Amino acid sequence: MGNNVGIENTCSKIVQSWLKEQKGPDAVLTPAQTCSESAPFLLARISSLSRKHSPRDLFQFVNRCKQTVEHLFLWATAKNLPSESFLVPYLEHMAGLVVTFEDQRHLSVLTKKSGGSVSNKSYQYQTTGGSFSVKEVKKDQRAKEVAPAEPTIDPASLGTFKIGDLKREEQEAKDALTLPFEFYKTTPEGGKVLYHPDAEDDLDEEDPDDDLLI
């Protein structure tokens, strides 16, 4: 089991609650203090064992427990482990079931089946009065919980030009503006284009064809 929410101090209660639910009230959970422990149901806190044993010893311990222990529970909190980044991924590779506590309400369960297939399900969990309860969450429901709400966008705030929302001074300035090109329809048959030249315009009254060398 891995967790990202700092609940390692309650791991014994969580595992014991699950164990009694699955195996009955007589099932007893034994904490593993060293890599030489043996019992039907063992709980090994990797943060504690990694201070006493090398990663190689831990891996050998897990392999040995597969043959002699009915259920071995490994509890790993990444921030409480040494710098060996491969430790948790390797232990997850060796495990048949991986439970990850994602936050204060949600956990995921990855189950490896004998045929090589893998299933991954999400659950909501709750710890109250020493009991531990879970409820499956469908993927679409989980996606809705995770997806952030899209903010409402005011179209008027998308640019500096506000159409249909001009102040009186802005409207007067707009009406007084004369564009360089203006079209006036004088008669039903036609119209004319008025051009107001700028001071920088180069107006040459000579025929441009005179400059051609023919």
Which of the pair, 4 or 62, is modelled with greater confidence?
A: 62
How far apart, in whole angstroms, are the C-alpha atoms of residue 43 and residue 10? 12
* pTM (two decimals): 0.59
- The identity of residue 59, as a single letter, is F
Per-residue model confidence as pLDDT tens digits over 154-177 = 655 555 545 555 666 666 766 666
Closest CA to 177 of 165, 189, 169, 187: 169
The whole-number pLDDT of residue 159 equals 53
* One-character DSSP codes across 188-212: TTEEEEEE---TT-----S-GGGG-
How far apart, in whole angstroms, are the C-alpha atoms of residue 92 and residue 111? 11
- The identity of residue 166, as a single letter, is L
How far apart, in whole angstroms, are the C-alpha atoms of residue 135 and residue 7? 19
How far apart, in whole angstroms, are the C-alpha atoms of residue 42 and residue 21? 16
How far apart, in whole angstroms, are the C-alpha atoms of residue 213 and residue 209? 9
β partners of residue 45: 75
Per-residue model confidence as pLDDT tens digits over 185-207 = 444 555 555 566 666 666 565 66
pLDDT of residue 3 exceeding 80? no
